[in-house]
A and B are shown apart, each in its own frame.
Chain A
């Protein structure tokens, strides 16, 4: 556990205590009483991003939790809502002072980081031998396993595919979805001729590095390769074949930009912009995931024309597998109760309510285009490498923005990103010295 030298902090505390005494104000009277442990009732704290008044999809997750709380009066799960960015900041601060909650919803790039910070509880002892384990996709377990240990409980998975509006394709006379990047460009040009905006990307937010990562693994390379010594390194600068693959990815962005398949504006698109523009039918195609199913529940008439296809690829038929998790933090008092809750959380009973079309449970596949379309792609999914991703993700955003805003050539971008990734790996102690 990362802990700060306490001596200097004591001085602060003394100074402040003096201030408080002089202020003549006691602290006790304003303290909010902590959740009581009067009975056998256990309260588990959870930081998560789902607002009770949010989207139908967020409400559904809430409903699932309500069901648990109703049926388990002695193990109450108490969520606090905050956006992902705040969860990350607060976990960082809390990690240094033992103020962590029992659980927090965690984005895929952060698990390795929390692992390096030694704040995660190893769940393997509680899950090995559990009968329900086989109900979760193997690819999903792989994504949450570091050094052979399960470090977080998967809660939903979003594999990426090409989503397109069939009515737009019909207008442009396109019969089948593009299978290669070359076809993607050709189809894009046809759509553009009919006055339809062909494609959408994100340039900021956590979706962007995920999107870029999908193209990178399709191209046959990786953002960071595991070297024989067990550490990691980006090899684009030293391996010409890998550089060619990486350059091809940025060339795809550059070509789409040059041919007008995407706009410069999209360099600042967040996932919220991409999803709502695709949902409204403002763009014909995008790399999207199963969460878009909820748009068809809302007032988005253009969603009924959406079809799902594997991402077009020139090299490997793979894609990005996002596994969103609940992290369990070290020092959680009621680990048995937490595990009990988490086992229920990935069971069909909970998953059907919370994540009907993004379930990690093999038995929860709705018989819809959404359920079937994505479920068959899960095994082609690749997770992020097991390295601290958040500064690397920031660099990946810059890289795409450089290309889309015409500030660097594709190859220069690949070389720049390679250097940044290795420098970030060095800063976090994960860089392999081998070339």
Chain B
């Protein structure tokens, strides 16, 4: 099929078809390559999300099959009014911030330590990755056993060295349960931070560090002024992804405390499970889920806006 200036003027329908043809010729590779990913994303993540969104406006209570139907905002009102929803959100914020900040701190410390030229670096790096290889279900049973108030090794050791007079029920005391699961989550998740931050550290150009050394910069200055800028992108990706993962996490909390004692570690994710599988109320569970996603999006929008403002404020100052 010839495409020339003549055909363009003579027949207006041909160029339009040709445009489509050109478009396909130009881009089909891109769509063939990304197609499977898009289909998986749409078929198994976005369609379910839309379905849940749809459920959230319906009464779907397995115990009351006759009453199924559209109910507007009623599920949302029920969730927001009669459940201690905001208490659970507070728990989730503590759980997320505690875990992510802790993981970041431990990950950064270990990455900086491993960035030095020391004998046995590969050995220590190998050890530090170990927790990440332990599946969450395994980590939960192992920690439950370690923290067992009757026969657990931790309470025994702490008593032996005189740090504690009596056994402490780490997962069963309301004031300690959240701290304990955060500690365990940090243990399981920090290696990914270490690896990523370490790789970024090793990508810092050597001459910049040497220049800083010659200028007489202290170790802290070298880290903060020279190396940290190279860690920014890794840090944003790590923190961003993990905030979403931890905020939505269900299995770790469920396997360790099932949201207890009482509701001390109950987060909206736990509440979704209980609404769906203990109260058999899929409509309320769906409304909770939509609220969770909204909360995440609102949080990220606010963080982005603050970030933009911050960039503007400090923009006039030249950066060294």
Chains A and B bind each other: yes
Chain A residues close to B by CB (< 8 Å): 1-4, 8-9, 11-12, 15-16, 18-19, 22-23, 88-89, 92, 95-96, 113, 116-118, 203-204, 264-265, 267-268, 273, 277, 282, 388, 390-391, 394, 397-398, 401-402, 405, 407, 423-424, 427-429
18 inter-chain pairs at a CB distance below 8 angstroms, sorted by A residue, are A1-B65, A2-B65, A19-B40, A19-B43, A92-B277, A95-B62, A116-B63, A265-B172, A267-B172, A268-B171, A388-B63, A390-B279, A401-B260, A405-B262, A407-B262, A424-B279, A428-B63, A428-B279
A423 touches B172 (CB 8 A): no
CB closest residue in chain A, given B40: A19
Contacts of B274 in A (CB 8 A): 391, 394
Of the candidates A2, A15, A424, A427, which one forms a contact with B47 in the assembled complex, judged by CB atoms under 8 Å apart? Answer: A15
B260 touches A428 (CB 8 A): no
Give the docked Cα–Cα distance between A175 and B239 (Å).
65
Contacts of B261 in A (CB 8 A): 203-204, 267-268, 401, 405
CB closest residue in chain A, given B258: A204
A427 touches B43 (CB 8 A): no
Give the docked Cα–Cα distance between A19 and B274 (Å).
32
B39 touches A15 (CB 8 A): yes
Instruction: Please give the number of chain B residues whose Cβ is less than 8 angstroms from any Cβ of chain A in the complex.
Output: 41
Give the docked Cα–Cα distance between A8 and B60 (Å).
15
B43 touches A92 (CB 8 A): no
B61 touches A23 (CB 8 A): no
A264-B169, A398-B262 are known contacts. Are A22 and B44 too (CB-CB below 8 A)?
no
Closest CB of chain A to B271's CB: distance in Å? 11
Give the docked Cα–Cα distance between A397 and B167 (Å).
23
CB closest residue in chain A, given B174: A405
Give the docked Cα–Cα distance between A161 and B134 (Å).
43
In the complex, whether B13 has a CB less than 8 A from a CB of chain A is: no
CB closest residue in chain A, given B280: A92
B36 touches A117 (CB 8 A): no
Give the docked Cα–Cα distance between A326 and B259 (Å).
29
A2 touches B62 (CB 8 A): yes
Of the candidates A92, A264, A407, which one forms a contact with B276 in the assembled complex, judged by CB atoms under 8 Å apart? Answer: A92
Closest CB of chain A to B251's CB: distance in Å? 13
Number of residue pairs A-B, CB distance < 8 angstroms: 113
Closest CB of chain A to B66's CB: distance in Å? 9
In the complex, whether B199 has a CB less than 8 A from a CB of chain A is: no
Contacts of B173 in A (CB 8 A): 264, 268, 405
In the complex, whether B54 has a CB less than 8 A from a CB of chain A is: yes
Give the docked Cα–Cα distance between A269 and B106 (Å).
33
Contacts of B64 in A (CB 8 A): 116, 428-429
Give the docked Cα–Cα distance between A95 and B261 (Å).
30
Contacts of B240 in A (CB 8 A): none
A204-B258, A398-B262 are known contacts. Are A22 and B39 too (CB-CB below 8 A)?
yes
Give the docked Cα–Cα distance between A95 and B61 (Å).
12
Contacts of A117 in B (CB 8 A): 62-63, 65, 280
Give the docked Cα–Cα distance between A89 and B172 (Å).
24
In the complex, whether B303 has a CB less than 8 A from a CB of chain A is: no
In the complex, whether B150 has a CB less than 8 A from a CB of chain A is: yes
A16-B44, A19-B39, A277-B150 are known contacts. Are A423 and B262 too (CB-CB below 8 A)?
no
In the complex, whether B109 has a CB less than 8 A from a CB of chain A is: no
Contacts of B262 in A (CB 8 A): 398, 401-402, 405, 407
CB neighbors of A among B151-167 (8 A): 167
Contacts of B279 in A (CB 8 A): 390-391, 424, 427-428
B60 touches A4 (CB 8 A): yes
Contacts of B67 in A (CB 8 A): 429
CB closest residue in chain A, given B260: A204
A12-B47, A23-B36, A264-B169 are known contacts. Are A428 and B61 too (CB-CB below 8 A)?
yes
CB closest residue in chain A, given B58: A5
Q: Which residue, B36, B167, B260, B274, has most C-beta atoms of chain A within 10 A? A: B260
Contacts of B60 in A (CB 8 A): 4
CB closest residue in chain A, given B37: A19
Q: Which residue, B42, B44, B47, B262, has most C-beta atoms of chain A within 10 A? A: B262
Closest CB of chain B to A27's CB: distance in Å? 14
In the complex, whether B267 has a CB less than 8 A from a CB of chain A is: no
Closest CB of chain A to B188's CB: distance in Å? 22
A265 touches B63 (CB 8 A): no
Using A2-B65, A19-B42 as known contacts, list a sample of 11 further A-B pairs with CB atoms less than 8 Å apart, ordered by residue number in A.
Answer: A2-B62, A9-B51, A16-B44, A23-B39, A267-B172, A401-B261, A401-B262, A405-B261, A407-B174, A427-B279, A429-B67
A118-B65, A428-B61 are known contacts. Are A8 and B263 too (CB-CB below 8 A)?
no
CB closest residue in chain A, given B167: A265
CB closest residue in chain A, given B175: A405
Contacts of B63 in A (CB 8 A): 113, 116-117, 388, 428-429
CB neighbors of A among B235-280 (8 A): 258, 260-263, 274, 276-280
Give the docked Cα–Cα distance between A265 and B67 (Å).
43
Of the candidates B48, B62, B171, B278, which one forms a contact with A96 in the assembled complex, judged by CB atoms under 8 Å apart? Answer: B62
Closest CB of chain B to A111's CB: distance in Å? 13
CB closest residue in chain A, given B281: A427
Contacts of A277 in B (CB 8 A): 150
In the complex, whether B35 has a CB less than 8 A from a CB of chain A is: yes
Closest CB of chain B to A201's CB: distance in Å? 13
In the complex, whether B149 has a CB less than 8 A from a CB of chain A is: yes
